[in-house]
Structure 1
Amino acid sequence: MLINCVAYQHGAKLADIDVDSISDYIARPDCFVWVALSDPEPEELAMMQSEFGLHELAVEDASHGHQRPKIEEYGDSLFVVMHLVEPIAATADSEATFNVGEVDVFVGLNYVLSVRSRSRSGFLGVRERCEREPELLRNGSGFVLYALMDAVVDRYFPVIDALEVELEEVEQQIFSQGEPRASIKRLYELKQRAMVLKHAVAPLLEGAGKLHGGRVPQICAGSQEYFRDVVDHLSRINGSIESIRDTISTAVHVNLSMVTISDGEVTKRLAAWASIFAVCTAFAGIWGMNFEAMPELKWRYGYLMALGLITATCGVLYWRFRKAGWL
């Protein structure tokens, strides 16, 4: 579906144009066309390929979707794939998860084509931002690519914050004597979501590095410092993800240690009570032997004396175990 198709010249908006007029505008000097599509049909992509002369391999990747984040050069053009990570809140029937959309950006000297798939988050704010900064928009399609990348990367920060807040809640649950199995389940769900974000950030960080250092593509030559800012943000996000993963691993070990300690307390209580009842059993076993030469068996107060001795011994053992913290 076509979202918009706009022509720009010298950093200013010329007009909203029809798809059929694209070739007329990209032929003008210092003019470029910015087209935005959402979940396009194959016919729409084929039309854009014809208008902009897109490389067939890049178009094939955009048509199939589910690509790894990357930045590829095709002659004088760039093909950029980025993931859109959108949180989905937990419900009564499902756990919290992520919807992973995709935005494919084709960038040439006189055009920008963004193709958004499986996502409800648009980029109208990015277009408005670029139009409010005509001096930067004079840099052409390279600045538009920066603005799109910056918008995608900025959307990762709230996701990181939400993961950190949830991780703190799980850590508190571990030390509040909550259900251990529930804590471990939440921790592994957090780890899974962190890995989804990791798969979106790490490859993009690797590819974005070549847009500001070394042999920079001609399209990005006037916006190198802005791409350096994007790389800096990606590095911070990647570091936060690694920190979250390490904290989750530590929390899992702590949770298992808490379970072991709790099991040890139960074992000590069982051992203490078993020792007390073992004394009762020992006395009963001694006086239960059928020997005739056991004078206390025929003593009038032998039964009461035996009960008293058993009770006193068990009482002393209970006191000692209580003092030791086993009961």
Structure 2
Amino acid sequence: MPGVIVDCAIYRDGRRTEPPEDLSDALAEARASGDAFLWIGMYEPTEKEFDHVRHEFALHPLAVEDALTAHQRPKLEVYDDSLFMVLKPALYDEGTDTVTTGELMVFVGDSFVVTVRHGKGGALAAVRHRLEHDPDVLRHGPTAVLYAVSDAVVDHYIEVAAELQADLEDLEADVFAPSSSDPKRIAARIYGFKRQVLEFRRATTPLLQPMNRLAFGEVPFVEDHSQPFFRDVADHLTKANEYTEGLDRLLSDALAAHLAQMGVRQNDDMRKISAWAAMAAVPTMVAGIYGMNFRHMPELSVWWAYPLVLGLMATACFGLHRLFKRRGWL
């Protein structure tokens, strides 16, 4: 259990105190105090490791299954003895320009908070540290933890969206660059970028409904006076969703523009090919006529016929070249 439990503490009147080693005694102490709660942070526990916590806090089996299995959509579910919320923290890797998402489950109940984290994203050490330096917020109990965790996750969405916006600007510059780039490479970049935005949307979009429930509805184990704070988080989340939708639309426009550019380039190539084929057709036709080997061809007995025919072919090709050049085909 020590390797699974990242941190565990009792917070009394906004101040951290170390709990007893036994979880049952720690929870009983927090509830007996009246102004305290127990916060346990866990990282990727197995079913066996989480079993003791499940029994001590009377967590619902369905919520426990979701917390252990992971791969859940952001959601908020209310059970008899606890509140269960799933968030998907997003992490932007500057080295690979990719977005990865983790999972963060929060159980809130009578005088306790249990957080279960999966993946690299969503570390709560900074959130816990910030709360411990703000006792006025921490005095509000488990609600304060739920708010702080949600606020940290959503604020990081804004940062990830800004990074994606910067990457999109670089991609647009590459798409519309005057120099001809590899079309396949650009198309692959656009498609890969759309996958990153899709992964990001899976984290941000479904979270809006749970946030609105916390901000505007009556939710058990969440104090009513905390609604303005959750409304602020919901507002930031709406902003992140707007960023994401804008990125998706711009990517679709960039892909359409790239395909249009490829079509224009292909048309230019076809016009050039057609122009050269037309110029080659004139001497081919003349040479074909003379290649039929008729016996009675008057110009065969004239000495200047051969240079005249060559001159006509050259003049015709030169005229066609000037015509196609003037029309922009060459």
Q: Please classify the TM superposition score into its range, dividing by the shorter chain length.
A: over 0.9
2 CA distance for matches of 1:219 and 1:120? Answer: 25
| Unmatched 5+ stretches in structure 1 | none
Asked if 1:35 is matched to 2:36, the reply is: no
CA change 1:208–1:181 in 2 (3 A) is: same
The equivalent position to 2:195 in structure 1, one of 192, 204, 222, is 192
1:1-327 equivalence runs, <5 A: 1-20=4-23, 21-28=25-32, 29-88=34-93, 96-119=97-120, 121-176=122-177, 177-327=180-330
2 CA distance for matches of 1:260 and 1:73? Answer: 54
1 CA distance for matches of 2:237 and 2:194? Answer: 19
Contact 1:61–1:67 (Cα < 8 Å) also in 2:
yes
Between 1:265-274 and 1:63-72, the stretch displaced more is 63-72
Length-normalised TM-score, structure 2: 0.92
Kindly state the Cα deviation for residue 236 of structure 1 after the two structures are TM-superposed. Answer: 0.9
Kindly state the Cα deviation for residue 9 of structure 1 after the two structures are TM-superposed. Answer: 1.7
1 CA distance for matches of 2:224 and 2:238? Answer: 22
Any idea what the Cα deviations from partners look like across 1:121-169, whole Å, max 9, x if unmatched? 5211111211222222221110110001111112222221222222222
Between 1:294-303 and 1:266-275, the stretch displaced more is 294-303
Instruction: Say which SS state the counterpart of residue 67 (structure 1) adopts.
Output: coil
2 CA distance for matches of 1:88 and 1:218? Answer: 36
Kindly state the Cα deviation for residue 222 of structure 1 after the two structures are TM-superposed. Answer: 2.7
Q: How much identity, in percent, do the aligned residues show?
A: 37
Contact 2:90–2:99 (Cα < 8 Å) also in 1:
yes
Contact 1:3–1:36 (Cα < 8 Å) also in 2:
yes
Kindly state the Cα deviation for residue 99 of structure 1 after the two structures are TM-superposed. Answer: 3.1
Contact 1:109–1:219 (Cα < 8 Å) also in 2:
no
Contact 2:58–2:81 (Cα < 8 Å) also in 1:
no
Any idea what the Cα deviations from partners look like across 1:80-127, whole Å, max 9, x if unmatched? 111122234566xxxx54433111110013111111112255211111
Number of aligned residues: 323
2 CA distance for matches of 1:60 and 1:80? Answer: 13
Root-mean-square deviation over aligned CA pairs: 1.8
Contact 2:98–2:196 (Cα < 8 Å) also in 1:
yes
Any idea what the Cα deviations from partners look like across 1:277-298, whole Å, max 9, x if unmatched? 1111122233334444432211
Contact 2:59–2:81 (Cα < 8 Å) also in 1:
no
One-letter identity of the residue aligned with 2:323: R
Instruction: Say which SS state the counterpart of residue 66 (structure 1) adopts.
Output: coil
One-letter identity of the residue aligned with 2:143: G
Contact 1:198–1:238 (Cα < 8 Å) also in 2:
yes
Instruction: Say which SS state the counterpart of residue 27 (structure 1) adopts.
Output: helix
CA change 1:172–1:12 in 2 (3 A) is: same
Contact 2:104–2:117 (Cα < 8 Å) also in 1:
yes
Contact 1:109–1:140 (Cα < 8 Å) also in 2:
no
CA change 1:193–1:220 in 2 (3 A) is: farther
Between 1:243-252 and 1:210-219, the stretch displaced more is 210-219
Length-normalised TM-score, structure 1: 0.93
Contact 1:167–1:187 (Cα < 8 Å) also in 2:
no
